[in-house]
Amino acid sequence: MAHQPCGLAQRRVEVRADAAATLPLNGLTAWQSPDALGLRHGATLLVTGAVELAALRGLRAEWFVARDAPDLAAAERAVVPGGVAGALDAAGVGLPALAAVRNAGAFVAVAADAPVGLRGIRSANHWIAADGTALAQLSALAAAGRLTLRVAGALPLGHAQEAHHRVAVGGLRGRLVLTL
């Protein structure tokens, strides 16, 4: 399904090189993964990670539940009784995110193995595919200031081991970028 950026503004913003480096992996993952859920326009969506692109595509990802909530499913169901139509797990939350999905909903994992679908929930992993057209659209969104590119930090290439450790510990808001 081809996607058109929603109402690109004429203004241009400067995108830092380290932020632009996150666009192929983060942007294409967030752009392509909602398709794997098969949700209709206006459906409720739990996203454990980037949410801007889901909202730009007409999915309702408008409530915030803290990542460290003691019971993610209960917190989500408090704002969406009956559960969300789908969950896009970009943070490797797994079963707690699956539990927030209503019966016969959809769950897609992009950062870890998807749990077995329970209660008729379709559960799958999604791996991004090269897509130059979508990447150009994402670049236009970033240049127009409509897409936030999050960088948790930039480290010299020699600090790759530290970067791997920080990713394994979790809790990063954005990507780590290795520089030369």
Global pTM value: 0.75
pLDDT at residue 82, as a whole number: 93
Closest of 125, 117, 124 to residue 101, by C-alpha? 117
Provide the terminal-to-terminal Cα distance of the chain, rounded to the nearest Å.
37
What six digits make up the tokens of 22? 């996150």
- How many helices (H) and strands (E) in the chain? 7, 6
Residue in the structure block whose two tokens are 């169901």 = 77
User: Residue 122, SS3?
Assistant: strand
pLDDT at residue 10, as a whole number: 59
Residues of 10-43 as b/e, b for ≥16 C-beta within 10 angstroms?
eeeeebeebbbbbbbebbbbbbbbbebbebeeeb
Q: Render pLDDT for 71-122 as a digit per residue (tens, 0 to 9).
A: 989 988 998 999 999 998 888 888 999 999 999 999 999 878 899 989 999 9
Give me the residues of the chain with pLDDT under 50, please. Answer: 1-5, 8-9
Q: Is 161 left (phi over 0), alpha (psi -120 to 50) or beta?
A: alpha
User: Residue 50, SS3?
Assistant: coil
Closest of 51, 17, 48, 56 to residue 134, by C-alpha? 56
